[in-house]
Structure 1
Amino acid sequence: MYKVLIVDDELPARELLKMKIDWKSIGFQITGMAKNGKEALEFYNSYKPDLVITDIEMPVMDGLSLIQSIKEINESQPIIILSCHESFSYARKAIKLGVNDYLIKDSIETEELRTIITHMFKKQETNKKKLSSQSETISQKKKSVVTRHLIKYVMNDSKQQEYISQYELHLYGNQFKLLFIDIEILDQDLSKPQSQFFNNDAIESLQYLIRLSLNDYALGEICHDEGNCFIVVYGVTKSHSQMDSQGEALEICASIRNNINSKFNTQTTIGVSSPFSKLINLNTAYNESKQCVNRKIISGYDKTYLFSNVSSIDKDQYIKILNVKLNRINDYLNNYNFKPIFKEIDDIFLQNLKGFMQYNYLKHTNWTLLSMLIEFCSKNNLSFIELSGSHSPWETIMDMKTVDGMCTWFNRNIEIISDLLCSKVDNNYSYHVQKSINYIHKHYSQNISLNDLSEMDNLNSSYLSRIFKKETGTSITDYINKVRTEEAKSLIQNSNKKMYEIAELTGFSSTQRFFLIFKKVVGSSPGDFRKN
């Protein structure tokens, strides 16, 4: 019930107002009546009524003086003035003092008074709730900022406790866990940064949903990290065994995921740190849970991942196995044996990495493979950036959502490289011989030597010369002369260029040598060939 004080120097007027409406029906009760301003002020100081209804002209202290005194005590105090005066001068003075309404005694109707009072307090309640909500929001924002500061920056125990006490953070208990929540928005333009899709209102809504889930299980704090990521720190309530605490964590994560995904079109992946007893380990727990979330690339999104501390022996053994496979791929690549590479890459991404589930090893694998391909392309006069269609291959790989996508990307680019290098390969020729043939056809107009071809392939010149003659039936020099002569024949037939110009364009060292080689290959001189 709201308390009402009626102030009027005339008793009938006070009694009439008391009986004017059914006060209880609208949630009010008359708790005091006074015959002048002084008496009313004393009552006000003692009982703090919610509503004051006062006359203006009264002995000892008039209504305007009473209003001014009350407003000095409580600026937001609701006050209604009732007066016989119709002069606006009184209304003006009352308005300046901040009254809520000004009514004429003799003309007031019961329903009018009821409506004015109920609307006044309905609006006041709305404002109170709004202020309370704003205050709570500001408080939560402060707590969120402080919690994030405690997690991201390492500080001593006394400093942490100072922050916790000052901002009344719910970080108490014998054991804690930290959750890293990564929210992936579905059906969005992935060319835009994900952080653009969650505005401040959405972030507040998400924190509210997370808090709802957390409050069902434990006390803790929530903060927004970066982009679409959030952090939860809570006191473990089921700490009797590791199984109990893990079970509780899985229940909390499932509740958070269900709450978020039911309100937003999202996938929610959550990493759970190992339990810790001292808040000084917050930063370590943050890194653990974030590392867990990275496993989504390997094992899938919209799941919960618990941190597991793999022994250093297991790690050392795994990296040895991984490096053996990577070295094998490098050997295949340098021997232009592309076919087995695809199987090795499938084994690494789809079996080994998924089995071990370590994001750091995924980065190691991607970087090693990418370096191999770039180096191989450079040796073979290919631009990996051009053939891969990416100005930043590393970012392209690491932005991929799954290891399946990464595996496909590497296999596709190796297939492109293989096709480029072997597109003209005759089944009768080995790779090195075909590579030399391709080079000759492309650079016949330049000075080509056996040493140029052998250095390009990192082969012994005698060995290259021997296998070339064995596979093609002709020497490298004769093959070069044949290619140049064929090109010269085309120019003689299809242009009016002079013979010395043709000799220069087709890579012959002199016109005399051009005539000599041409007659040897074709059986007639260049001049006779043009005539015929």
Structure 2
Amino acid sequence: MYKIMIVDDNHLSIEGIYNRINWQQLNAQVTHKVYDGKMSLEILKSEAIDLIISDIEMPQLDGLSLAKEALTIHPNIKIILISAFDKFEYAKQAIRLGAFDYVEKPLNYEYLEQILKKALNSLANEQKNLAILKHSKPLMIDNFFFELLNSTCEEAKYSLDNYPNYLNLELNYRYFQTIIVRVENAKEIKDRIGVEKYHVSLMSISDKIKESLKDDFFMVHILSNFNELIVIIGHNYSSSKYFHKRATEIFTDLSSTLHTQIFEVHIGIGNVVKYLWNLALSYEDASKALEYCFFFPQKEIFDIRDTIGKGLPQEFYQTQHEEELIQLICKKDLDALEEWMNQLARELLANYRTKQLVFIQIYTLLGRLLKFLYEMDIDSKNIEKEIIEVYSKIDAFNNSSEIFKWFNKICKLACEKMNASIKTYHDRTCASVISYVKEHYNDANLSLNNIADYVNVSSSHLSALFKKNSGTNISDIITSVRIDAACQLLTNTTIPLKEISEKSVILTNTISVPVSKRKQAKHLPSIVRNTP
């Protein structure tokens, strides 16, 4: 039953509301009749009230001030304000403060009862939703961390700042870190034992990880993302180095335990960050570290510190050198490519001291090259095959020069592919031009622009491309095709010369026609050779 408080300094007003409303039908009970606004606040501090009906005009504490204070104490309480003054400003202030509604005196009790019914229905819905919300708090906590891991520092602080207190999360630690445990054979396990049992097994792994971490880290939260577990830890260790070292030791021990189960896992360890709002950086590092399991599947743990050279900016192998390589491949400048390769070798060897790390950087560049060839619709199957074969026998390289010699070979092969692809494209374009001319030679409006539109290139580019590829101009081709058509008509038909002239549309003088065609054109009547 809902608890109702009526507040008014007028005794008769309170009694009128108390006696004229059917409270039982509303499933409500008037528990307090209060004649002083300040007294009502004292009651609210010690007792939960569902709805307040209050007069606005009261001494000491008016109804608007009462509403403001009451909502601070109980944010979900419903408040209906009453006033004898016909002032719309009161209604606006009441709603702005968060009151449910505003009713004018003299009271229409039937109308007031309708307002009360709406207010209590609204309260019932809110209480139902609040119960659902409280029940789903674990899910909200997961959503909080998912959002945190996928937001920038500024975005996270702006949109999530209020949630730790609401969710009762203790996050005031000196350092934080993210570790990803990825199940590589997830599909195989799901197919074999079913989705439900797979996730039960995954939860068991999560429990094992929590148990292993609880004595060393104050905060441990694990997110399950279908095929991976995202582990978020926090502590107040004196240094980030010790934090990272301890986490790595625990997960190194865990990896051997997990591999004795049905799961095949790879573990990516991100950097330690100093602030909660920077956790996305650690998550990004852990994800990036896991990328290297493609290169070294025999390993189980991938630490971000081992995958990025200490003296080399992280962007080194992601942007600058990738674009330089693509530009050189496009230019097909083998001398410049070799010079660039030598410079790359010097930079890599100065910053990476192991064969595996050097090879990883080269693999990253080759991945970008393959993506470029794919986007250009260039067949790169043999290049892919070569890369896969070499990857499987990386230990066959005895020194760094052999690795770069092989890399140079792949790049030259890509240049050859580019050359072959461009020549094929040019040949196809020129063949399309000739085919189009043969189909439309009798069109008086046939021109370079028409043909360029058909093959979808600019007229200037098409003119130069055709000349370079075939050694002749498009206008000569048009004339040649028209003369051929006229000769065929003269030889094989009895069509009148004037009609042949119209069908052939010979618009150029034979002076501009190639010699072989000029000899044919010499035997044509002038009306055909020089038709305007």
Q: TM-score range by the shorter chain?
A: 0.3 to 0.5
Pair member with larger Rg: 1
- TM-score, normalization: structure 2? 0.42
- TM-score, normalization: structure 1? 0.42
